[in-house]
Structure 1
């Protein structure tokens, strides 16, 4: 009788211990599953944040690229406008170049005519021709024509002068310099339309 009770007691304790052990195992399993779920959720959240961040960076890079292209295009267009404006101004300045250049020999002829008339001592004729010459000169000057101021003794400058011949210099100080002016040079709005033809001393 006592032995049976003893067995029952041992069995009850064993069953109770096993039940507690099972319960503990189940609790541990649940905690483990919860930890795994939390880890997966955190991983998904981080991945979403990474994807979102990379998309934002891509958009920023595209925006920066588009802005750079816009600025380059704007600068090119601005340069084009300035260049076109300068070319238009230059065209306006020299629009009458051909007509004015064709009238330069007429000015030369007036100069030679006045020199010859002055020798005849006919003051009335001289004044009449001089009046016409001055009127033509003033008209062309209003269009931008300017006579070059060149005289003997000036330095020879290939930007404005054309040497038609060289002669031995009459004096030492005229070597390499202008000895005589054969034909007057002209500028049209500061652009050379005819070089001054000169004689240079050796």
Structure 2
């Protein structure tokens, strides 16, 4: 009988050990599963962060590229502004010289030559996109005109340009020099 009890005891010990193994294995798998899930979640978060950073860097690069392209276009569009600014006083002097009345036949030939050079200069400036700012019968616009004087004249509306004292010019859509004008009050 003792052998039976010993055998039974051994069987019970084996069963208990098996049960302990069975109950321990799932808990080990659960702990390993939890650890694995946490690692997966952390890696997923890192991946999402990296994707977000990548998208932001790409967007910043696209914005930089577009901005530099616009700057290049603006530089090309207004590349001749500095030379135009320096040529405007020359144009003014030509206009003043052509207003002088000449009676001498020899001097008239010189004036005709000046007129030819003046027309050629105006053509070159027009080809570069330089246009004269309209002032005649226009309303005063502080973006285009510089009011030098205010007068009270009959026949003009309030804030209407009465007289142009110095012509103004634009290079394409940018004002190079505003027109100096007299404005009616």
Both structures adopt the same fold (TM-score exceeding 0.5): yes
Matched residue, 1:60: 44
Matched residue, 1:190: 173
Matched residue, 2:154: 170
Could you tell me which runs of 5 or more consecutive residues in structure 1 were left unpaired when the two chains were aligned. Answer: 1-15
Q: How does 1:33-182 map to 2 (within 5 A)?
A: 33-117=17-101, 127-152=112-137, 154-171=138-155, 173-182=156-165
RMSD over aligned CA atoms reads 2.4
Deviations 1:78-125 (A, max 9, x none): 2112212222222223333222111112212222333334x8597766
TM-score of the pair, normalised by structure 1: 0.79
TM-score of the pair, normalised by structure 2: 0.85
Could you tell me which runs of 5 or more consecutive residues in structure 2 were left unpaired when the two chains were aligned. Answer: none
**How many angstroms apart in 2 are the aligned matches of 1:76 and 1:120?**
69
Task: Tell me which structure has the larger Cα radius of gyration.
Answer: 1
SS state at 1:174 partner: coil
Deviations 1:138-173 (A, max 9, x none): 111222212112213x221111110001011323x5
